[in-house]
Amino acid sequence: MPVATKKLRSNRAWIERHIHDPFVKRSKAEGYRARSVYKLTELDDREKLLRPGLTVVDLGAAPGSWTQIVRERLSTKDGHVQGRIIAMDILPMDPIDGVDFLQGDFREQEVADKLSEILNGDKVDVVLSDMAPNLSGIPAADAARSLLLNELALEFCLDHLKSNGVFVTKSFQGSGFSQYVEALKKAFKKVDIRKPAASRDTSAEVYLVARHLKPRK
């Protein structure tokens, strides 16, 4: 079968699955920007990641569904954000009240300077990363791109996370995964692997929850 035909059938199957996905329907009904919102809600319900008063950075935030939940869970009963929420992405994102959005690569000096200005010398309580590369369909290439994003997110944590902070990142089981988990275990005292219900069974996607940075040598 020609590659183009295979890709067309795969795209059709994805669209069909997406249309009938209960999490997609639920997210639209509840006003969230993407079905991925339910991955974070389950993680937070289990891990108790978010509460008012924290400083949270959401890497790869667009279109903003995770940021929406962070805002909800850092808000007081009257709806005001208590804490700081910083969303970052190279893609544009529609504004969310009470959230600082920085568009650009967080490795770039201009973006880093803006982040430093917002943090004003403070460290971060929680770093969230739902970043994923643009997939090529070539497993080895996609795994390498995903792993690079994981490594960049870890470097960000080492620079900005509090010693008792929490890092949550999406990763894909496959080439390089076990080595990345080991890298997290070298940097953090506790690392858990989670598979939320909203993460499709057919996907190699999992979430790593890392707590308490070890002292850097």
Active site residues: 170
Q: Is 126 exposed, middle or buried (0-12, 13-18, 19+ CB in 10 A)?
A: buried
Amino acid identity, position 214: K
By three-state DSSP, how is residue 162 classified? strand
CB atoms within 10 A of CB 169: 23
Cα separation, 90 vs 15, in Å, equals 25
**Tokens 């008012």 correspond to what residue?**
52
Kindly give the residue spans of alpha helices, DSSP state H, lying in the chain: 3-20, 22-30, 37-47, 65-73, 109-119, 139-160, 177-187
